[in-house]
Structure 1
Amino acid sequence: MKNSLQVAGGVVGAVVGFIATLLILELVGFGNRADPIMSGILALLVIAPLGAIAGLVLGTMLATRLRGRENTGGLLRNSLKAFAVTVALCAAAGTSYYVYAVMTATPWLNPNAATPLLVFEVRLPAGAALPDSVRDIAIELQTDINRMPGEPRFNRFRSDGDRPVIAGDVELAFRTAHRQLEIKVKNQPDRLYPVGLSAKAPHTSELGSWQPNIDGSEIRYRAKWPGRD
């Protein structure tokens, strides 16, 4: 491509400008703490793209000067070419990620996929009581995308010394790394446990190590994919 150096300089400048703008916004504390979602959308979809455009023009100018041609092809023409290449690369990357997401997604995004489960055990503090019936316990997986009710597995309830252990599972219906498990037992304080699984939640055959909670209880868990045990 004619003037390929200028176009490449513009593409690199756009990427650097986008990232640099986000870093600057973070450093200056941009955003409304009361409405972080809208602040994030404004930063990602308005301010950062403006920074990318500024970086694109600057990158094109620098590449032109490095080549020793002050106006080779015209700054505007080369900037537009760099912009078109940048948009094409973003579209290709977005399409590739979408295809990957659909191919590996859980059933609510891809009906032909298997449904993984979060299998867990919670070891309550000493002196706490096991729930007597399904009405006495509520389990909910909370994510940044959805909320999913869980199922207690009374056949796996037991005592570990003087500490009762409750068990259950819940579907991992969406791929996200932002998960927490809420456990409510009648006449006990509500408990919230962060779930440190990756977005794809790969299958493991054994429960992980016990993780302490602020109230003195502990949780351990694993992701279980159908047909893998």
Structure 2
Amino acid sequence: MKNLPQIAGGVAGAAVGFAATLLIVELVGSGNRADPIGSALLAVFVFAPAGAIAGLVLGTKLAMRMRGGENTGSLAGNSLRAFGALILLCAAAGTAYYVYAVTTATPWLNPNAATPLLQFEVRLPAGAALPASAADVAIELQTDQNSMPGAPRFNQFRRDGERPVIAGDVELAFRTAHRQLEVKIKGQPARVYRIGLTAKAPHAAQLGPWQPNADGSEIRYRAKWPGRD
């Protein structure tokens, strides 16, 4: 395709123009500081696209100049071809991400997907009381997208020397890396544990190592996917 270098130059110029415009807006501090969300939307949907178009034309022109006498087509025609290629690339990238998101999503996003569980154990500080029943324990998984009640597993409560150990599980219904587990035991202060799993939460065959908490307790956990041990 004789126009391919010009098209490639235009697409590359658009990408550079988009990124450079956002950087300039950030460095200059353009926008209303009292409304940072509105300013960000203005930068992403107005300034940056304008910069991308300018970069596309400049990139196409530069590619045509580098080719010299081997050029085919006008600047306007090659710029339009580059713009069309850019739209196709953006559409392909968006489609690919959508397919990935749907095929790997957990059930609340994809009803046909399996629901992974966060299985965990909490080892309380020495001297803490072991809960008398599951009703004395409230568990909640908190994320940037939802909160989910968990289920204590009273038959797995035990003592590890002088330290009580409680166990439970909760569904990982959304794909996000921002998770924390809140554990409330009757008569004790609430405890919050950071869950260091990736967004997709891959299956693990066993519980991970104990991780210390600020109050002297510890937690260990794993993601368990249905049909896998």
Q: TM-score range by the shorter chain?
A: 0.7 to 0.9
Distance 1:124 1:138 in 2: 15
Which residue of the partner structure matches residue 140 of structure 1? 140
1:79 is displaced (CA, Å) by: 2.3
Q: Which deviations, in whole Å up to 9, do the C-alpha atoms of 1:173-229 show, x marking residues without a partner?
A: 122222221222233222222212122211111111111222222211111011111
Looking at structure 2, the residues matched to 221 and 103 of structure 1 have their Cα atoms a distance apart, in angstroms, of: 25
* Structure-2 separation of matches of 1:81 and 1:164: 68
Identify the residue that residue 96 of structure 1 maps to in structure 2.
96
Q: Which residue of 2 aligns with 1:212?
A: 212
CA drift of 1:27 comes to 6.6
Letter in 2 for 1:59: G
CA–CA separation in structure 1 for the residues paired with 2:32 and 2:219:
34
Deviation by residue 1:69-126 (Cα, 9 ceiling, x = unmatched): 6x96333332222122111111111112212221222211222221110111112222
* 2:121 pairs with 1:121: yes
CA change 1:187–1:107 in 2 (3 A) is same
Alpha carbons of 1:47 and 1:154: their partners in 2 closer, same or farther (altered >3 Å)? farther
Structure 2 CA distance for aligned equivalents of residues 86 and 120 of structure 1: 47
Distance 1:188 1:10 in 2: 63
TM-score normalised to structure 1 length: 0.84
Whole-Å separation in 1 of the counterparts to 2:199 and 2:144: 12
In structure 2, the residue matched to 1:222 is 222
Query: Which shifted more, 127-136 or 189-198?
Result: 127-136
Q: How does 1:1-229 map to 2 (within 5 A)?
A: 1-22=1-22, 44-68=44-68, 73-229=73-229
Amino acid aligned to 1:179: R
Number of equivalences: 229
Return closer, same or farther for 1:100/1:61 CA change in 2, 3 Å cut-off: same
Superposition TM-score, scaled by structure 2 size: 0.84
Cα contact 2:134–2:153 (8 A) shared by 1:
no
| Structure 1, gaps ≥5 residues long | none
How many angstroms apart in 2 are the aligned matches of 1:199 and 1:164?
A: 30
Name the Cα RMSD after superposition: 3.0
Q: Deviations over 1:142-198 (max 9, x none)?
A: 222221111111111112222221111111112222222122223322222221212
Larger radius of gyration between Structure 1 and Structure 2 = 2
Q: Pick closer, same or farther for the CA change 1:40–1:173 going to 2, 3 Å.
A: farther
Contact 2:2 2:72 in 1 (8 A): no
Identity of aligned residues (%): 76
Structure 2 CA distance for partners of 1:107 and 1:134, relative to 1, 3 Å: same
Residues 34-43 or 194-203, more deviating = 34-43
Q: Which runs of 5+ in 2 are unaligned?
A: none
Report the Cα distance in structure 2 between the residues aligned to 1:154 and 1:94, rounded to whole angstroms. Answer: 46
In 1, Cα distance between equivalents of 2:58 and 2:156: 63
Q: Using a 3 Å threshold, how does the CA distance of structure 1 residues 40 and 208 change in structure 2: closer, same or farther?
A: farther
Deviation at 1:129, TM superposition (A): 2.1
